[in-house]
Every structure is written in C-alpha cells, then in structure tokens.
A and B are shown apart, each in its own frame.
Chain A
Amino acid sequence: MPYPADYKYTKEHEWIKIDGNNATVGITDHAQESLGDIVFVELPKPGAEITAGKTFGSVESVKAVSDLYAPASGTVTEVNGDLATAPEKINKDAHASWMLKLKLKDPNELNGLLSAADYEKFVAEEGG
C-alpha cells in the first residue's frame, strides 16, 4: 500500500496530515498490518492537550495493546467517533481512518517527521 505523499510519519507508525495550523492524525497501514484485527481504540476527548512524543491513547488488537504516540503537540478539536464502534475500519483503510484532529501548538515540530519515502524505507529496514 503506498503511503500518501502529503502525510508525514513517525517511527512509531503514526501519520499526520497538516492543514495550516490544524492537523489530522492516524496510524499507518504497516501498523494495522502488524497489529492484526483491531478491536478497541482509546482516544482523548476534544479539548485535551497532547504532547509530541508522548502517548495520547492506545489501540488494541485481539492479541496486543499498543500505545499511540503524538506526532505533534496541540489541542484535540475532534475525535473520530466511528472508531469506538467500528475500530476495524482502521484495518480496512488505515490512511483514511483518522483518529483525531488537532490544533497545532507549534507547526515547527513537524520538521523532524519522516516523509512518505523515508517512512517506507524505515519500515523496509525494520524488517516489517
């Protein structure tokens, strides 16, 4: 599955799509494939503050629990309610299944993130 060129990526397998001072966050196709069937997603509420590099929630497959790491700092403006009842949507299309929308605290934080090409290389080297 190709990684959208207009997204940026973290080494913890989250993606972030920037739109001015706002952003949308999700997990990558590689993440959903590693996890297997996703059965539970724990996300913060709108209004919550999240910090780049720190955990902001979790995603659970049948076998495992995985922390979600914030690609950038900011205030949560919207959370995808679909994922509470249909978390398997992430397995079907991880790059379209957004988890939350953020008002970015500092867009410069994003400079350290990976491009689609770099992320693809990173995944290949990881042996994923």
Chain B
Amino acid sequence: MSAVQSTTPTTRKTALNAVHRQMGAKMVDFNGWDMPVEYPSAGGIIAEHNAVRNGVGIFDVSHMGDIRLQGPEALAAVQHISMNDASRLAIGQAQYSALLYPQGTFVDDVIVHRLGEDDYLLVINAGTREKDVNWVRDNTRQFACKVEDLSDDFTQIAIQGPQGVNLLQKLTDANLSAVKFYWVTRGTVCGLKNILIARTGYTAEDGFEIYVPSDEATSARVWNQVLEAGKEFGVIPCGLGARNTLRLEGALSLYGHEISDTINVWEAGLDRFCKMDKPDFVGRAALEKAKTAGLQRTLIGLEMIERGIARDGYKVFDHDGREIGYVTSGSYAPFLKKNIALAYVPPEFATLGSTMKVECRSQGVKAQVVPIPFYKRPKKQA
C-alpha cells in the first residue's frame, strides 16, 4: 500500500492503539493517526463490512474530534457557523451539518448534538481537528459562549449494525429502545456513570457511538467488554477499510473526497442539510449566488458495468473521449457485491441510466449512473 505523506511531525495514537496491535490489526496512517485498517483475525475488510450489515461490528473512532459550545448564546454561535438549523434540535437530538467557508465550500462536515439547554457538541473529522477548533473559536468570538476542545478527552467506540442495540443494552442501564436514530442519551455504560450514548454512525446502519474516558485502562476495558458482550451476536472489530466501504455504499461524504474547501453544498448534493431560511450563517451569501448561477458539476453515483474497479481520483470520460470529471471515492462494495463509485461530472451527464467511461489504470471501463445511496438499510417493522 502506498505510504501517505503526513504533515504532522509525529504519528498520533488513540488510547486503544496497543489493543488493536495486540489483536494483530493491520495498521495504516490515516491523516497522521496510526489506525487499524482491518483485523485479519476477524476475517478482514469484507467480513468486517458484512458483520455490520448483518449483525454488529465495532470501531475505534477516537481519532475524531469533539468541540463543546456552552453558554447563553451557544445556539446563536452554532447557528452562525453551521448550515443546518440547530434551533430545531430538542435536547438530546442530533443532526448532520457542515461548517462552511464564506465561499460556501466546506470547512468540515459535522454532527451537531444538543446536550442541554445551551450546550452543544460538534463531532468533527480526525484530519480537520485543529482547523475546525480554530475555525469555531475564530467565528464565535462575538457570542456569549465557551468553546472547548474535548477531542482528547474521549475514547469513542462505534457499535454498528442491526444487533448493535442489543449488544449495547447488555452494558447499560439506559433504555436504548427509547432513543431514536440521531438522538442521544446518558447512562451508565460498563459501570461508568453519565456516559454519552448517541444513536449515530457512519455506516448507513442502525448503531450507537459511546464516549468513554480516554485513559488507556478504561478504554481497553470497555472495548473488551463490548467484544465479550457481543459474542452472542457475532461481533467483530472493524477497521477503517470497512468503515470506508460501509459509508460508500450509503453514499456518505468523506472530507477531502465528496466535500472539501473547493466544493460547495449544492455540488455535493447536501441541500437538505442546508437551511437557507434560517438566520444568516457563514457561507450563506455565496450559496445564494451559486444557486442563481447554476451547477457546474454535481455528485453522481456510478456502477461499473464492465470489468474494472473505479478508485479515488480516476478520471471520467464521455463516449467521445473527452474528460468530464473524476471519481471522488470508488471501491468494490462488499455487501452489494458490485464495483461502485461517487464522481463529479457536469449536470448534463448526471441522468440516471446514462453511461460514461472511467479510466481504470489506462483502460476506459464503462460505468452507469445509478441512484444514490447505493444501499439503504431495511426498514424495521415498528
């Protein structure tokens, strides 16, 4: 695998790093973090991916960041920097959103959690931790609100899949059946009091994320207890490899791929998370202008219909051999058993069913535009 050039002088580790290595995980550098990409002893990426789709898998996502905003003007502060409408959040509710630059492009995507009356938690990407913290501080100074970087305070474990709720219920006194998707609660987890439990995730499945203290001993204990409790459900540890294939099947954006500081909200197709009718927010004016100007490019889903795997960065061509765009993320999809990709192309090429070619290692391979998400989890009967 290719070595990734890291801009950080030393590689960072989560509190569970030794545990992953003990389990024989294949490690990789992810944005300056030494993270497990897959666990051969668990069966590898495909087994991990399908465990999440069919049962339950767990992930160490402690590398992600956490910013807490508290104070009488915390909501106003969040509303100013976040494109979704946080005023719609009840206490205990969460929403997907993004922080935007004045140009209407992405600083980062984020999940906004309302923890209390004037208490919000933003969970942000690992690769953009420092940038986001600085951005939030710099753009909320005018509000009566305290901004805290809690990123190093938590070990964040994601418990994902249809059996995730049953697994976690064994370890907590919180009534998880009362927690709807994209809501949070607090409870005792593995004997630890007042633990934040969020019914959120990045896998396009039901699941939870728990935030436990980040000391190594506690983190290892909780991780192992979760694995133990999950044995009856076939739980396995899952790495960033499966995390990527799972989110790709669900067409969930990854910063630096579908969203970045050169891509705007409309191009990325994230309109429904951007509330233009709420009070002014950073990026709003540029987005108004962009809407009037019209789309130059749009994000589409592709399914390979000839032999070949479209991968990140591969170029997209029309049938006359003209380069029209590029793949933002592409891979073999382990549950769908197809080769899929997300790509940016001009809107006239975005018609469902139309075909184009992806340059896969100097070969033009035919692909078809398909609806996204590629995968939607089955609706449970109430």
Contacts and interface: CB of A to CB of B under 8 A. Distances in A.
B309 A60 contact: yes
Interface in A7-52: 33, 36-37, 39-40, 42
B334 interface: yes
A84 B332 contact: no
B309 A63 contact: no
A62 interface: yes
Given A37-B44, A37-B46, A62 B311 contact: no
B307 to A, nearest CB: 7
* B contact face: mostly helix, strand, loop, or mixed: mixed
A117 interface: no
A interface, size bucket: 10 to 19
Contacts of B26: 36
Contacts of A37: 44-46, 334
Contact of A63 (B1, B307, B339): B1
A58 interface: yes
Interface size band for B: 20 to 34
Interface string B327-341: 000011010000100
A40 B40 CA distance: 19
Given A33-B40, A40-B332, A63 B361 contact: no
B241 A63 contact: yes
Given A62-B46, A63-B45, A65-B361, A36 B38 contact: yes
A40 B333 CA distance: 12
Interface of A: 33, 36-37, 39-40, 42, 58, 60-65, 84
Interface of B: 1-2, 26, 37-38, 40, 44-46, 241, 245, 307-309, 311, 331-332, 334, 339, 361
26 contacts: A36-B38, A36-B40, A36-B44, A36-B241, A37-B46, A39-B309, A40-B308, A40-B309, A42-B361, A58-B361, A60-B332, A61-B45, A62-B45, A62-B46, A62-B241, A62-B245, A62-B331, A62-B332, A62-B334, A63-B37, A63-B38, A63-B45, A64-B1, A65-B311, A65-B361, A84-B307
